[in-house]
Amino acid sequence: MTLSDGIINRSEKVAIIGLGYVGMPLAVAFAKKVTVIGFDLNVDKINLYKSGIDPTNEVGNDVIKQTDIEFTSDEKKLSEAKFLIVAVPTPINPDKTPDLAPVEVASTLIGKNLSRGSIVVYESTVYPGVTEDVCIPILEKESGMKCGVDFKVGYSPERINPGDKEHRLENIKKIVAGIDIESLNDISSVYELVIEVGVHRASSIKVAEAAKVVENSQRDINIAFMNELAMVFDRMGIDTNEVIEAMNTKWNALSFYPGLVGGHCIGVDPYYFVYEAEKLGYHSQIILSGRKINDGMGQFIADNIIKNLVLANKVVKQSKVVIFGITFKENCPDTRNSKVEDIIIRLKEYGIDPLIVDPQANAEDAKFEYGVELSDLHELSDIDCLVFAVAHNEFRRMTMHEINGLFRSCSYDEKVIIDVKSILDKTLVHKLGYRYWSL
């Protein structure tokens, strides 16, 4: 009997290590088919899950309450599982180099509790070679066993898009790879239990690792191109979105839009690829150039806020600026690596301490990561400038009457609106006479 057979008949268990935006949906999906242990070092998070609360909002409280996942922060419970999936974050250090500490810690915990005959699958985004050159040695050292003989290892990059209810775990094809054909077959069989559209079998773990960093680097470069165009069109007095709308009438146009590029994937993964390339003596040109452009968008937006305040005859240091959104993307509570922070930092250089409103973000996370206190939308008044930085549905639904009620009493051309994601009706805003700028 194969390991996948044992998992299917529930004589063996699956463990998910890391219950965040990736691990939680994965654990819930598997729990509908097999016996699942959900492990996370964060005791507070585990207690929330046990209480039926989903802090990620990816699956929802009702689903958490109904699932039969065994939530735990006790590492010894990992010894009960033979199929272990690592879904911990892979951030970058301040110098833009990979921070592999979460993956290394997870490998250490698993190694200490690894059972003979187990398969460990890594989903965390890494540069090619990490699974075999970094993770396997840790597993072997901690377990005292030999990979390929006593246990097997695989890689299956996560492809979940946080906040996206259309492209879900079940309908996104899964890339899978194993240390050998036996492990590849078992890994494929297990994932096919929950991936409705099937899996793609990569020829090696390094190919699977590379595919993940490349797909995000490709998106990063495409967005960087649109961001560069937006900066040029701003000088030309041309509306970038109108250009894109016209361009998209051609069948093979790529529908990318300018914006802030943060989060734990697109804003991070290219640095993993660049890091390994430079170790091999190749200095990236296109990828690093794209990163430089995207990392500079916060400052570009902030400078346009200042410019429009000046044009509206405002005293910059005395202006009351409110930023709508602190998460890294719309309709998602994830505040990690949000480039809205760059706008805030730049504004503070001009003596402006903006107020932040975000109905999706966790107030404690915002305070911990960026040192900002979230404001209540309903308590705002007498503002000079409103910045729509993140396109949450709550902001999209606001009427111009509601928006106007937030400003101090003055002429419309003295009321500044910065619409980063172009969520407002530009024609109406201009007709009313607001001082309006969009990316």
CB 167 within 8 A of CB 315: no
Query: Same topology for domains 205-295 and 296-439, yes or no?
Result: no
Which pLDDT score, from 0 to 100, does residue 132 have? Answer: 97
pLDDT tens-digit map of 42-88: 999 999 999 999 988 888 899 999 999 999 999 999 999 999 999 99
Which pLDDT score, from 0 to 100, does residue 252 have? Answer: 93
Which pLDDT score, from 0 to 100, does residue 163 have? Answer: 65
Among 144-148, 186-190, 222-226, 327-331, the least confident range:
327-331
For residue 107, give Cα distances in angstroms to 99, 189, 190, 353.
14, 23, 21, 42
For residue 73, give Cα distances in angstroms to 48, 114, 253, 254.
12, 16, 48, 44
CB 406 within 8 A of CB 384: no
CATH dotted code for 205-295: 1.10.1040.10
Average pLDDT value for residue range 326-340? 92
* Crossing angle for the helix pair 240-247 and 205-236, to the nearest 10 degrees: 120
The DSSP bridge partners found for residue 437 are: 418
Which pLDDT score, from 0 to 100, does residue 98 have? Answer: 92
pLDDT > 70: percent of the chain: 99
Banded pLDDT at 266 (limits 50, 70, 90): confident
CATH 3.40.50.300 is right for the domain spanning 3-203: no
Torsion, Cα of 262, 267, 268, 273 (10° steps): 180
For residue 285, give Cα distances in angstroms to 34, 270, 275, 289, 297.
46, 12, 13, 6, 19
Q: What is the C-alpha to C-alpha distance for residues 439 and 420, in angstroms, rounded to an integer?
A: 5
Please check the confidence at residue 161 and state whether its pLDDT lies above 80.
no
Please check the confidence at residue 271 and state whether its pLDDT lies above 80.
yes
Q: Is 129 helix (H, G, I), strand (E, B) or coil?
A: coil
Residue 117 — left, alpha, or beta (φ > 0 → left; ψ -120 to 50 → alpha)? Answer: left
The H or E element containing residue 349 is helix 340-349
Residue ranges of domains in the chain: 3-203, 205-295, 296-439
Please state, as a whole number, how many other Cβ atoms lie within 10 Å of the Cβ of residue 318.
Answer: 10
Please check the confidence at residue 306 and state whether its pLDDT lies above 70.
yes
- Which class in CATH covers the domain with range 296-439? alpha beta
Which pLDDT score, from 0 to 100, does residue 162 have? Answer: 67
Please check the confidence at residue 362 and state whether its pLDDT lies above 80.
yes
Banded pLDDT at 170 (limits 50, 70, 90): confident
Which pLDDT score, from 0 to 100, does residue 171 have? Answer: 86
Q: Which active-site residues does the annotation give?
A: 265
